[in-house]
A and B are shown apart, each in its own frame.
Chain A
Amino acid sequence: MNPVIMGVLGTILLGICYGTWRNPRLWSALFWSFVATFMLSAAVVMAFPAPFQDKTFLITILLPLVWVGFQFWLYWNPGRWTVTIALFVIVVLSSVVVVLSPQPV
């Protein structure tokens, strides 16, 4: 990848991390809930034994709801960091599943 693009992306990511440190709820609602949503979706699509097409269509329907559900959870839960940490865990576990699972056909 172009080093300039990598630099820009790295700066943005650092900015998001700093923002998360200062205001975990807001930045998790803006960014980490989205990352957790699509990583979780991808992990579910790859890990569950059902026809790929069916799984993808179902996940596509549920995706906006899951995303909004995460955002809402951030404000429902009293802990300042609880849901943000849960989202990080979801991202990490989903990433492990995605890396270890074979490519669907």
Chain B
Amino acid sequence: MADQTKQFKQERHKRIYDLHSWTGVSLGLMMFFVAFTGCLALFHHEIEAWEDPARRGEVPTQPVAIHDTLDAYIGEVATDFTPNFVNVSLPHGEHGHYEFFVGGPSDADDEFVSEKARFSATTGERLFYREEGANQFLYDLHRDLAWPDALGGRTVGRIVVGLVGIAFLLLILSGIIAHTKITRELFTLRYLKSVRLKWQDSHKVLGLWTSPFAATITLTGAFLGVVALLLPLMAFVTMKGDQEALIAALGLGQVERTEVSAPMVPVDTIGPRTHPETGNPLAFVRYTNWGDETATANLSYKAETRLLYADTLDVSAVTGEPIPSKDIFLTGGPFAYVLATFSPLHYGTYGGIALKLVYLALGLALAIMSALGNMMWIERRRHGGEGAKSDRFYAVLSAINTGVCAGLPLASVAVLAFDKLWWGSEAARYSSVAIAFFVVWSIGAIYGYARGNDYKANRELLAATGLGFVALAPLNWIVTGDTMWSAFGTGAAGSAWFDLSFIAVGGMTLVLAAKLPAERPADRRRTKTKPVEAMDHGELQPAE
């Protein structure tokens, strides 16, 4: 009876272990990609000053009044569409200027169209508008894989990322349950015995120590992704296919324009300039139904130290009087508030730069753990007596894994440099950055395969990434004229911090590349060739 129970438990463990192993191997590269790009996405706002010299100016203490300029701009651009949405980014933090976004349905075919412009906060004159580049592209890669419109648009990409989040959740759960001696494994790192044990222990230690963070990130990420898939399905089922009815039932409906025109309260004076409770400055104003008697304005204040993406106030855009908040996440009860916390929890926006650095370390640990999982799986088959395919097959897998994983950071650095040097039109900036990214990444992957030695390929790609990081700083100085030593203490300090960080990260990457072995180290313990079943059992009881 006891033997039967033991066998039953072992079989269950094997199933859970297989689930963990095969899910990880199938989606390991994708998880590495999402985790690594997530690390970059953490600094999406902070890096804007480094990327765009126009964001480096000092924020004037008394910005010039801009409402007349806004009014004239809307009159100029909204000739063939209704300006339902008018967003104004006010000078604050990294934004030393005004930024306008005007959008609405086209008069011709109801398609959503929009226009954007940038104006000086000191003179009110129109500034050059720099289109989104490498920073936005890297951010989009994490959010929706920058999925092309031709293949269904960003929603599809978002769903794919969300599904990876679901798989990641499954991996965390199965990973924790597959390892029965968690307390021992938390503190076991055998670096000198064999390659396999080194990677295995590193994978377990990283996985177990970061599991609370990983669970938070994957749950919130899965939600942010799959909600795009599940909401339409919920509408289809609960509202018999009527998505508009679902939107209305959730309180997300928008008030229709009455087409009775009314003057708007100027953006320069609308609402309090600082949040009544937090004292944070007003950063963003969003007018809805601009120019109509039903117009409202949503005022966003930074909420960097609270578990919210932004503090908001709603006012009538006609009278300026406060109106009940339309933010369902703030007014929809406790569950809605929990949902509102998902985005700041995912991107670590609630604890300043220190928290983002902690997120960066944990996120990199997740990425490394994903790569290690793949490496372990291949190592067991090449040097551990597992697997039914030829050594050549696993060698190719290993080379691809190395090239893809080590090529991704290189491609990310390369597009930051490419964007800095971009010489073409603004309209083509984003697409050119995307092409450059995939070209460099493909070269990295091909190099990993063609090099014939994964260890050397990894070292060399890492070294190239390190050099690229170090080179970003002088490139920035040459292109923009803002040297690091002159920028600290001025409006360009944000950019200078990135220069310094790039040099530090590049230096550390170069040191790491130099320390990594150029060949597979010889195992110090005798290699055992076991039957597959016995090996599986051994992996389930890994503490030796």
Contacts and interface: CB of A to CB of B under 8 A. Distances in A.
Given A68-B169, A103-B245, A60 B227 contact: yes
Interface string B196-239: 00000000000000000000000100110011001001100111
Contact of A75 (B15, B230, B335): B15
Contact of B166 (A38, A60, A68, A105): A68
A45 interface: yes
Interface residues of B, number: 36
Interface string B227-259: 100100110011110000100011100000000
Contacts of A104: 238-239, 249
A79 to B, nearest CB: 11
A10 interface: no
B166 A67 contact: yes
Given A38-B233, A38-B234, A61-B223, A68 B173 contact: yes
A60 B238 contact: no
B253 to A, nearest CB: 12
B288 interface: no
A60 B228 CA distance: 11
Contacts of A29: 19
Contacts of A98: 237-238
Contacts of A57: 332-333, 335-336, 338-339
A103 B222 contact: no
Contacts, number: 88
Interface in A40-75: 41-42, 45-46, 52-54, 56-58, 60-61, 63-65, 67-68, 71-72, 75
A75 B250 contact: no
Nearest to A58: B335
Given A57-B335, A103-B245, A38 B251 contact: no
A101 B18 CA distance: 41
A78 B238 contact: no
Contacts of A54: 332-333, 335
Nearest to B162: A64
B129 interface: no
Given A52-B250, A75-B19, A46 B339 contact: no
A39 to B, nearest CB: 7
Contacts of A39: 237
A64 B233 contact: no
Contacts of B8: 78
A38 B230 contact: yes
B380 interface: no
Contacts of B219: 64-65
Contacts of A61: 223, 335, 338-339
A65 B226 CA distance: 12
A8 to B, nearest CB: 15
Nearest to A69: B173
A64 B238 contact: no
B170 A72 contact: yes
B45 interface: no
B495 interface: no
Given A42-B238, A53-B332, A63 B230 contact: yes
Given A54-B333, A75-B19, A68 B237 contact: no
A55 B170 CA distance: 25
Interface in B1-45: 8, 11-12, 15-16, 18-19
B328 interface: yes
A56 B246 CA distance: 10
A33 B227 CA distance: 16
B234 A42 contact: yes
Interface string B132-147: 0000000000000000
Nearest to A38: B233
Interface in B155-179: 165-166, 169-170, 173-174
A7 B353 CA distance: 53
Contacts of A42: 233-234, 237-238
Contacts of A63: 223, 226, 230
Contacts of B240: 103
Interface in A68-105: 68, 71-72, 75-76, 78, 98, 103-105
B169 to A, nearest CB: 5
Given A53-B249, A54-B333, A68 B170 contact: yes
Contacts of A52: 249-250
Nearest to B173: A72
A10 B190 CA distance: 53
A53 B173 contact: no
A78 B226 CA distance: 29
B529 to A, nearest CB: 28
Interface string A3-39: 0000000000000000000000000010000000011
> 5 shortest A-B CB distances, which residue pairs?
A57-B335, A42-B237, A64-B222, A75-B19, A68-B169
24 contacts: A29-B19, A38-B230, A38-B233, A42-B237, A53-B251, A53-B333, A54-B332, A54-B335, A56-B249, A57-B333, A58-B335, A60-B227, A61-B223, A61-B339, A64-B166, A67-B166, A68-B166, A68-B173, A71-B170, A72-B19, A72-B170, A72-B173, A78-B12, A105-B249
Interface of B: 8, 11-12, 15-16, 18-19, 165-166, 169-170, 173-174, 219, 222-223, 226-227, 230, 233-234, 237-240, 245, 249-251, 328, 332-333, 335-336, 338-339
Interface of A: 29, 38-39, 41-42, 45-46, 52-54, 56-58, 60-61, 63-65, 67-68, 71-72, 75-76, 78, 98, 103-105
